[in-house]
Amino acid sequence: MRPMDEERGQPGGSTRSFETTEGALTYPEVSERLAVSLARILTQLLQTPPHEIIITSEWLCQRHRELAGHLFPEWAGRFRTTDVKVGTLEPPAYYKVPILVQSFCDDLAERLRHVDDGNLPEIAAFLAWVDWRFQWVHPFKDFNGRIGRLMLAALLYKLALPHVETAPTDTERRREYLEALRAGDAGDLDPLQRLWIRRLGEAI
């Protein structure tokens, strides 16, 4: 199955079928089922005390399993085992994923510990780094965008900030977001940080 890769604008073709436990489903049908799972996970998340939410490799895999395990039990909740290309991005080799995710989670915890929750640019810089870095590692075979958004929602909750829209449907804002991710791939996180400053400013 070719990945959907919704964050990088590579949906795999909305008319394609995907083999699932429910048989062959189209992209919209898979997305509809994942939306139900995602809403359930978010509800559970918001019922958890913020200090109990700790982003680890295990946390990410568990959320991925909860999201898609009912449709793709053979690989949901497990890191990818093949190399992939996502649009113009070539994520790290699959065998590097476990150590990169562990490093990402360690860095995230340390950065979160030092974030000044009264400093909007600093918060935006932190969220921009999380947003970009997770998608760059691209740890799962598919649905990385949804897990990334879930993780960002968890961090906003831990920082006592309102929910923001991290999956723009507006064509111009989506283009802007994808360009900001590509700038991050090239080592420049400033566009993504500016985007996060705007997101937070509109939500607060």
Per-residue pLDDT at 8: 58
Query: Angle at Cα 43 formed by Cα 41 and Cα 45, nearest 5°?
Result: 70
Predicted confidence at residue 12, as pLDDT, reads 47
Is the predicted pLDDT of residue 6 greater than 80, yes or no? no
Kind and range of the H or E run holding 59 = helix 57-68
pTM of the complete model: 0.91
Residue 1 lies in a domain: no
Domain count across the chain: 1
Residue 144, in any domain of the structure:
yes
Q: What's the CA gap between 185 and 174, in Å, rounded? A: 17
Predicted confidence at residue 15, as pLDDT, reads: 60
Q: Would you state the pLDDT for residue 170?
A: 87
pLDDT digits 0-9 by tens, 50-81? 999 999 999 999 999 999 999 999 999 999 99
pLDDT of 11 above 60 = no
Whether 15 maps to a domain, the answer reads: yes
CA dist list (Å): 138 to 40, 91, 142: 23, 6, 8
Domain that holds residue 161: 6-203
CATH code where residue 114 lies: 1.10.3290.10
